[in-house]
Structure 1
Amino acid sequence: MNTKILITIAGNLVADPELTIGESGTPHAKLRVAVNQRIQNPDGTWRDGEPVFHNVSAFRMLAENAASSLKKGDPVMVSGELEFRAYDKDGERREARRIIADTIGPDLRFGTATYQRAARPVVESEAVVEATGPEATTATGWPVYNVSTKGPVVTSPFGGVLTNDMTM
């Protein structure tokens, strides 16, 4: 049974994100985030508790965007799935945990940020659809939609586009 543990943390980056490209060509960013607990003293003053360090992995566009946007010391928020794994090292059984990130962003409690949408590379064949039926997709696998009718583009096996309009 695979149990998903969703988690959100807020902390500071301990180092710059490390971006690597896997054998399959998938970008992978490794981040290390320190989370400090704030503790109130009996006299009402606050102090930092012991930091807890989290390993974070991000993949694909999230990895590329995190690596180009974030740097050591930045306050961040990370949301994703907590993963546990066990391994043997020098004959000793060890356990590790990491967060597989779904989202990463700056923590705006401590500053401001300007959002810039990343440009998605356009594939030439996206404009031309060679598939038929309601499952027609572009080269990137995204379904093809007609903007004016807000429905899928359905092509006939004999050529031409079928319409969903009923005429009387």
Structure 2
Amino acid sequence: MALHTQQSLSGFIASDPQQTVTENGDTRFYVRVGQPHFRQEYNGSFTALEPTFHDLVAYRATAERAIARFAKGDSFVAEGYVRTFQVERDGEVIQREEFVAKKIGHDLARTNYSVDRTHRTGLDTGVEREVEAAHTGSGR
């Protein structure tokens, strides 16, 4: 079976998270995110450049969890896709884009935290069995 991949985005939460509700009644998480950029110099050192800023959104359960867990300044890693859309401002139609995070978490390389595994209802036991079988060699 082919390896499934999606686009990813990493950076830092640059604004206070905002919670809204879509027309369908779904929870929506919105933040501005920053992406640091660096230039490698001839001597091998790196020079920090100005970060770029972008919109990030998440919906439904991912949005609810993100609202509860993220704050301005947090480093994150997200999986999802870029959505391009048009908006009208002052009579002019402009192109915008946002990263739609299907999955999002704190960046392990930049965040200290502990994991609470006492409530793991999201895992399907069939998936757990397949993973265990793959690791022990008793799978397909």
**What is the TM-score with the length of structure 2 in the denominator?**
0.72
91-100 vs 20-29, greater mean Cα deviation: 20-29
Partners of 2:20 and 2:112 in 1: CA distance: 28
Matched, 1:53 2:56: no
Helix, strand or coil: the match of 2:67?
helix
Higher gyration radius (CA): 1
Helix, strand or coil: the match of 2:108?
coil
Query: What is the letter of the counterpart of residue 42 of structure 1?
Result: Y
Residue 23 (structure 1) shift: 4.1
What is the root-mean-square deviation of aligned Cα atoms in Å?
Answer: 2.3
Alignment correspondent of 2:81: 81
Structure in which a larger fraction of residues adopt helix: 2
Residue 73 (structure 1) shift: 0.5
Long gaps (5+) in structure 1: 1-5, 121-146, 148-168
**What is the TM-score with the length of structure 1 in the denominator?**
0.61
Poorly superposed stretches of 4+, deviation over 6 Å: 117-120
Between 1 and 2, higher relative CO (CA 8 Å, sep ≥ 6) is seen in: 2
Long gaps (5+) in structure 2: 1-5, 121-125, 127-140
Helix, strand or coil: the match of 2:109?
coil
Deviation string 1:28-77 (CA, Å, 9 cap, x unpaired) is: 11021100112122233212223121211111111111111011111101
Structure in which a larger fraction of residues adopt strand: 2
Query: What is the letter of the counterpart of residue 61 of structure 1?
Result: A
After superposition, where does 1:21-100 map in structure 2 within 5 Å?
A: 21-100=21-100
Q: Is the 8 A contact 1:16 1:67 kept in 2?
A: no
State percent identity of aligned pairs: 28
Alignment correspondent of 2:137: none
Q: How many residues are treated as equivalent by the alignment?
A: 116
Partners of 2:119 and 2:109 in 1: CA distance: 27
